[in-house]
Amino acid sequence: MTSATNKIISKYPSPKIVLVGWYGAGNLGDELLLSTMIREVHSRGMEPIIVSLDPTYTTNYHCVQSIDFEDLDALQLAIDGAYACVLGGGGLFQTYSPFEYSSLFEFSLGDVASYARPVLLAQQLGVPTALLAQGVGPLDTSAAQGIVALLFSGASCVSVRDVASRDLLNAIGVERDITVAPDPSWAWEMPELPQPSRAQSHMKIVLVVRDWSFVSGWEDRLLSALRQTFDPAVHELVWVPFQARNVPERSSSDTDLLHRLMTGLGDYWNQRLFEWTNIPQAVEMIASADAVIAMRMHAQILALKLNKPTLCLEYDEKMTQVSIQAEVPLQRRLRLTSDQDIWLQAVRSLLVDSSANHVQKENIQRLASSAGAHFALLWETLGMSTGERPPSLTQNGQHLDWLSFWRTWEKTKNITRYPASRIREMDFFIGKSSEENKNVEQPKFYNASIAFQIGMRARESNYLELHRAFEQKAQEAEEERNRNQLLEADRARSIELLQTQIARSELLEDQLQQIQSAKLWKLLHWLKIL
């Protein structure tokens, strides 16, 4: 960690709250959530520290201090001095992406389990943890269910953004109070925006779609419905990427998909790509639309807040839950797997101005007023009567020495550089001897019905299994080096033999030329005599 990071983290005398989520990737929904959370933290006279995929972007855009997701030193320093660590909101825990136990022990990004690590670190350091505005699921593996049960059972407070998430948590053994409230973005303060004043002879249709490889053929069904519904002379199609930035090796933009869809629709259509650089720009574009086709949950929320005719492409349960909460008419809700005729009916409904197609303003106001429950829970749990950090409300962080695991991983991630003999010389392993720990009863985690046993055996036996794994890896690397050396020696011998054969061939060729020259000289001499 750089000295600059130390200065940034220690700059503010006010209490700090560490915010962890899919921040810095340039996803408008997550940046909208972060903007809401930053405003809420500031309203309490506190300073947020953001754990970001791109700290430079986060600091420049939100004017807050931020640290890199993989900077363990900065993360430890920030959390150890924080009032609390807050994970969320967002649909972070799902099995659309890899979600394995092993990622808890390797401090690098790339797995859903990486979101768990700051929370586990905070619990180990005795810092209160809050899991706020979570969208949970699907959780199709036992590993995902175990990790989620571990986190949600051990947090100081938990809130989710829909009933389906709460029911899933209950089903995997999370037995605790869980607050259910609409997504915090419903409470985002909407600026005063001009409404479109165009005549029906010109209409702007904003489309916010995302890549989704889990359903085949939906892109073709969308394009077919657009061709059969809209008129290039009347309707302008504006494609808006809600995931607008590429962060190398961390996140990718929606723009490639949108370019592909625009090409598939054809040059004949009046269409363009709108790439936003800040949240108000994107909101203003949606506000200027006559209708919106939304395949991003926060595009769905913004369009409904702005009272726009909105077709909700419910690719995931989270969008279905928003539609249910807002009471979106069935004709404005569409599953990606629907038949082409249903797609066509749903898209055409955007052109029908009927009260049956409208979402009631009372529903939107109700959701906006209820969305603050997430923050009310946080402040109530932390007890905001003093500026001092409250005592930890969980004692679950002490079961495993996560920092030791991660420090060990940092030291050994390049272990192939070392022979087996070096492993024993390195100070990787700490703790009591295996004899002293032999009779230690394995603790149960958080009283959850799903036992979380990962790492306990290694801990109780002085990390011997971890040691053996590293040693085996080093031995395999050493054997591989030996094989490479033998292959190199064989290659060198082969080259030497080939060079010898070439030299012999050249020598034989010279001798043959000499013989031929001698014969030719004799022939010429014989002809001269004749």
The 3-state secondary structure of 7-40 reads HHHCCCCCCEEEEECCCCCCEHHHHHHHHHHHHH
Q: Which helix (H) or strand (E) element contains residue 222?
A: helix 218-229
What is the rounded distance in angstroms from the CA atom of residue 74 to the CA atom of residue 495?
53
**Which residues on neighbouring strands pair with residue 239, listed in sequence order?**
207, 273
Kindly report which listed range (51-55, 189-193, 213-217, 444-448) carries the lowest average pLDDT score. 444-448
Average pLDDT on 38-63 reads 95
Identify the CA nearest to 136 among candidates 80, 71, 92, 202: 92
Chain mean pLDDT for the chain: 82
Is residue 427 pLDDT above 50, yes or no? no
Q: Which residues contact 260 (CB under 8 A, 6 or more apart)?
A: 219
How crowded is the C-beta side of 332, counted as CA atoms within 13 Å? 28
Q: What pLDDT shows up at residue 470?
A: 56
Q: Compute CA distances 185 → 50, 208, 360, 508, whole Å.
A: 18, 17, 18, 86
CA 42, distance to chain mean position in Å, is: 26
Greatest distance between any 2 Cα atoms in the chain: 129
Environment class of residue 268 by beta-carbon count within 10 Å: exposed (0-12), middle (13-18) or buried (19+)?
exposed
Q: Which residue has the higher pLDDT, 431 or 325?
A: 325
Cross-strand partners of 131? 87, 158
Separation of CA 101 from chain center: 16
**Residue holding tokens 């962890």?**
20
- Most confident by average pLDDT, 60-74, 397-411, 470-484: 60-74
Q: Which residues of 143-171 are buried (b: 16+ CB within 10 A; e: fewer)?
A: bbbbbbbbbbbbbbbbbbbbebbbebbee
pLDDT at 276 over 50: yes
Total-model pTM: 0.76
- Contacts (Cβ under 8 Å, ≥6 apart) of 154: 123, 129, 394, 396, 397, 445, 446
Q: What's the pLDDT at 516?
A: 77
Mean pLDDT confidence for 200-207: 86
Peptide bond into 138 cis (omega under 30): yes
Of 187, 188, 169, 171, which Cα lies nearest the Cα of 179? 169
